[in-house]
Amino acid sequence: MASRQAYALLEFDKNQPVVIEEIIENPRFGDIDKVVEQRLKDLGFLPNTALRIVAKGLFGKPPYAVQLASGVQFSLRMDELKKIRCRAL
């Protein structure tokens, strides 16, 4: 993805450097969507934060292991990956 457009983190390739543009609503979380958004932010998923996918699940499906620029790694499920909008660096 060479475009400067933001895409769900789910759509990027393994080891491709990206930067977070925003955390968006995901209706699958229903009433707790804002809680999930705040939790992601508390963990360091903030706008302008660089990260990369370091591993994908079986057959390339979630969960994905992602690494923030700080070096911290997290495992995210599909619905969380869809909330994080990023652009390629």
The answer regarding whether domain 7-88 maps to CATH 3.40.50.2000 reads: no
Q: Is the pLDDT of residue 3 over 90?
A: no
70 phi and psi angles, rounded to 5 deg: -70, -10
Q: Which amino acid is at 86?
A: C
Give the pLDDT confidence score for residue 46 in this predicted structure.
98
In whole angstroms, give the CA distance from residue 81 to residue 77: 6
The DSSP output letter for 9 is G
Give the pLDDT confidence of 42-88 residue by residue, as tens digits: 999 999 999 999 999 999 999 999 999 999 999 999 999 999 999 99
Cis peptide before 63 (omega within 30 of 0): yes
Give the pLDDT confidence score for residue 4 in this predicted structure.
77
Closest CA to 63 of 76, 52, 54: 76
